[in-house]
Amino acid sequence: MSTTIEKIERQINENPILLYMKGSPKLPSCGFSAQAVQALAACGERFAYVDILQNPEIRAELPKYANWPTFPQLWVEGELVGGCDIIIQMYQAGELQTLIKEAAAKHKPEESDAE
């Protein structure tokens, strides 16, 4: 059986754009998660999420693993970007859009020419 930390690492490694949040993008359970989802959604790329309210072990372990005490947490390509305030600041500066689009482009399935 894998540990919670291994599960977190697997989630982060398998999802180039990953938001740990309270609730889901359609039904956020806190204002900060809702703001983070709005900013991410506005970037126009798909992203994965983990509802920490449904995963209490992740809710308990992730702040220690990430050295970041609060949720939501945005991870892009294995790196912790930050929480709600940072996400919003980056979005307003136009930095989040670039980061998200670049990460998404790297991980899109390659289109091949059918000849």
> What pLDDT, on the 0 to 100 scale, is given for residue 109?
66
pTM, to two decimals: 0.91
Identify the H or E element spanning 79.
Answer: strand 79-82
Q: Is 22 annotated as a binding residue?
A: yes
64, 53 contact by CB (below 8 A) = no
Tell me: the pLDDT tens digits for 27-65?
Answer: 999 999 999 999 999 999 999 999 999 999 999 999 999
Q: Is 30 annotated as a binding residue?
A: yes
> What pLDDT, on the 0 to 100 scale, is given for residue 114?
57
CATH class of the 4-107 domain in this structure:
alpha beta
> What pLDDT, on the 0 to 100 scale, is given for residue 108?
76
Identify the H or E element spanning 76.
Answer: strand 73-76
φ/ψ of residue 49, rounded to 5:
-145, 155
Q: Is 106 annotated as a binding residue?
A: no
Q: Is 84 annotated as a binding residue?
A: yes
Residue among 21, 17, 45 nearest 33 (CA): 21
Task: Give yes or no for residue 113 having a pLDDT over 70.
Answer: no
Tell me: the pLDDT tens digits for 98-107?
Answer: 999 999 999 8
